[in-house]
A and B are shown apart, each in its own frame.
Chain A
Amino acid sequence: MKTTCLTALAALVLAGCAADDPKLRLYDNNDLELAVGNAAKMTCTCRFVMQMDEAYCRDWVRASPNVARFSVDTEKKVVEASAFIAWPARARLIDDKRGCVLE
């Protein structure tokens, strides 16, 4: 009886330790959402913070899957991106100290 109790206690302790171990966490992101967020934010900073040209920035932000399509409004300093006409993302330049924000 005593052995059974000790075994059960040990099992409980081990279970408690295991619960503290770093289980893998998965995030609720789909790849398209990430792709357009990346395209909008990084294109905005590439063009308006780093001041690189359009061709450089298109290559620089290219990610896999390469599905994001985006437009740059150089007057308003805004970049809008989407994938398959859905998953819209928008980034804009705040000012010359705080750069771009992904809205």
Chain B
Amino acid sequence: MHRVLISSILLSATLAAAQQCRSRASWPTEKWPEALVNPTAKAAELQALEASLFTLVGKPEERKGYRTNGLVVVKNGAVVFEKYARGWDATKRHLSWSVAKSVSSTLVGVAVNQGLMSLDDSLCKHLPEYANDPVVCAITVKHIVSFGSGLQWQEEYEDKGYQVSSVIAMLFGVGHKDQLKHVLTHRKLREPGTQFVYSTGDAHVVGTLAKRALTAKHGADAFWTQLFQPIGMKDVVVEEDAAGNVLGGSFVYATPRDFAKFGYLMLNDGCWDNTRYLPAGWVQAATTPSEVFRANRGDCSGQTLPANEYQLPCESTPNGFMWWLNRPPAAGVDKPWKDAPDDTYAALGHWGQRIIVIPSEDLVIVRTGDDRDGSFPVNDIVKAVLPVVKP
């Protein structure tokens, strides 16, 4: 009896500790404190950082090389480095591209935290217009935040034929007016939860799920009242299509300093100023390779399919709930960012948008850019920043 009682007390204490938020001396809700790196003591490291991130190549119209628009580095809760280029400054919102996916999955976390949604819910619970569609109803929230809807999707961009891309058709072509419908009328490729397919379509659905759950209780501005404003992201824009669906896979805009606040929320386990916005354990789950990823990360056979078939990419960077992780994707394979600590995770977007979080360094890095010639590698950003912030 005593043993049961003691076990219960220990379990309760453990759960309570997991629920508790980390305390900080201050929170940057109103403004980031600054503790800029000493330019004399770190002259060589700063020079190397700027050479790596801010050196332009060729003529602007050629769109060559890496083109950084902004870099904000937050260490121990303060901005230690900040620079803008190419006409950008601290006041301007930047397009996130697929960084939006991590924002969308996190908004689902906010809904789960408030008891408005469960990871085990069928999509149909929140999208009742699809209640008679067995393909959609078989997909759970957990499947889709893990890129595991099982729907056929061809995630291609401007470097492939436009008629092949499910994304371009959705954003600007035949599917643009009702993008939720565009996604959910794709045929089932695999059983939900069994196949990782990186999909802007899945992320759009995730954004709309979060909107449906949160706005039903809190009204049209729920994203802002329930997350963005409390953590000081004052100027966030989340775009929608003409049917009111959230374009949660692509179109979120914020200043780099506000994106850093989003990274800081994750760094602090979903807490902000003693309030928990994400359930205890959410960040851990979101930054662990998902069951879907571990089940099947794409076509890694090395065989090339005939031209009339779509070859799923073999994904080499593990993914949790729409966060990219510095873990080996499979036994015997290297982690993706070799110079970054193992606990590094990131929100990554087209043309080089990055929010990089490194808990072991108490570090958040936001890089915005316009890389049309291959995106700036995460590893190279971390490799350039770490020497600058090391004591």
Measured CB to CB, the residues of A under 8 A from B are 20-29, 31, 33-34, 37-38, 41, 45, 49-53, 56, 59-60, 63-64, 94, 96-103
* B315 at the A interface (CB under 8 A): no
Partner of B176, one of A24, A37, A53: A37
Flag if A49 contacts B166 (CB, 8 Å). Answer: no
A37, B174: Cα distance in complex, Å: 10
**Contact of A99 with B172 at beta-carbon distance under 8 Å, contacts A21-B309, A24-B308, A27-B166 already known:** no
B253 and A24 within 8 A (CB): no
Q: Mark B69-107, 1 if CB is under 8 A from A, else 0.
A: 000000000000000000100001111000000000000
Task: Choose among B186, B242, B310 the residue that contacts A24 (Cβ–Cβ < 8 A).
Answer: B310
B173 touches A34 (CB 8 A): yes
Contact of B242 among A21, A29, A101 (CB under 8 A): A101
A-B contact count (CB 8 A): 113
Distance in angstroms between the alpha carbons of A64 and B162 in the assembled complex: 10
What's the nearest-Cβ distance from chain B to residue A85, in Å? Answer: 19
Mark contacts of B146-172 with chain A using CB atoms, 8 A cut-off: 1 yes-contact digit, 0 otherwise: 000000101000100011111011011
User: Would you list the 6 A-B pairs with minimal beta carbon distance, nearest first?
Assistant: A37-B172, A29-B173, A27-B169, A99-B239, A99-B237, A22-B310
Q: A29-B174, A99-B237 are in contact. Are A50 and B95 (CB under 8 A)?
A: yes
Contacting pair A64 B158 (CB below 8 A): yes
Q: Report how far A28 CA is from B92 CA in the complex, Å.
A: 36
B residues whose Cβ falls under 8 Å from a Cβ of A: 60-61, 87, 92-95, 152, 154, 158, 162-166, 168-169, 171-177, 186, 189-190, 221, 223-224, 235-242, 251, 253, 307-312, 370
| Complex-state Cα separation, A94 to B242, whole angstroms | 10
CB of B237 within 8 A of CB of A97, answer yes
C-alpha gap A56/B370 in the complex (Å): 12
Q: Which residues of chain B come closer than 8 Å to A52, judged between CB atoms? A: 87, 92
Q: Nearest-CB distance from A23 to chain B (Å)?
A: 5
Chain A: minimal CB distance from B155 (Å): 12
* Given A22-B312, A63-B158, A101-B242, CB of A27 within 8 Å of CB of B173: yes
Known: A24-B154, A27-B162, A96-B235. 7 other contacts (CB 8 A): A24-B164, A24-B309, A27-B164, A28-B163, A37-B172, A52-B87, A101-B241
Contact B61 A99 (CB under 8 A): no
A-side binding surface: helix, strand, loop or mixed? loop
Select A25's contact among B61, B152, B162, B240, beta carbons within 8 Å: B152
- Chain A residues whose C-beta falls within 8 Å of the C-beta of B235 in the assembled complex: 96
Q: Give Cα distance in the complex from A102 to B95, angstroms.
A: 16
Distance A50 CA – B95 CA, assembled complex (angstroms): 7
Residue pair A34, B172 in contact (C-beta under 8 Å): yes
Contact A26 B309 (CB under 8 A): no
A102 CA / B237 CA spacing, docked (Å): 15
Question: Cβ of B186: which chain A residues have Cβ within 8 Å of it?
Answer: 25
Which of B162, B176, B223, B370 sits near A60, CB closer than 8 Å? Answer: B370
Task: List chain B residues, Cβ under 8 A from A59.
Answer: 60-61
Question: In the assembled complex, which residues on chain B have CB atoms less than 8 Å from the CB atom of A37?
Answer: 171-173, 176
Q: Is the CB of A23 within 8 A of B310?
A: yes
Is there an interface contact between A45 and B370, defined as CB atoms closer than 8 Å? no
Give the complex CA separation of A25 and B311 in angstroms: 11
Nearest CB in chain B: distance from A48 CB, A: 10
In angstroms, how far is the closest chain A Cβ from the Cβ of B64? 14
Residue contact A98 to B239, C-beta cutoff 8 Å: yes
Q: How far is the CB of A88 from chain B (nearest CB, A)?
A: 14
**Contact pick for A27, options B163, B177, B312, CB 8 Å:** B163
Return the chain A residue nearest B308 by Cβ. A24
Q: Give Cα A20 to B310, complex, Å.
A: 12
26 contacts across the A-B interface (CB closer than 8 A)? A20-B190, A22-B312, A24-B308, A24-B309, A25-B154, A27-B169, A27-B173, A29-B168, A31-B162, A33-B172, A33-B173, A38-B171, A38-B172, A45-B253, A49-B239, A50-B93, A53-B87, A59-B60, A59-B61, A64-B158, A96-B237, A97-B221, A97-B237, A97-B238, A98-B238, A102-B241
Q: Which residue of B lies closest to A64 (CB)?
A: B158
Closest chain-A Cβ to B231's Cβ sits at a distance in Å of 16
Contacts of A27 in B (CB 8 A): 162-166, 168-169, 173-175
Given contacts A26-B164, A101-B242, is CB(A49)–CB(B310) below 8 Å? no
Complex Cα distance, B370 from A12, in Å, reads: 50
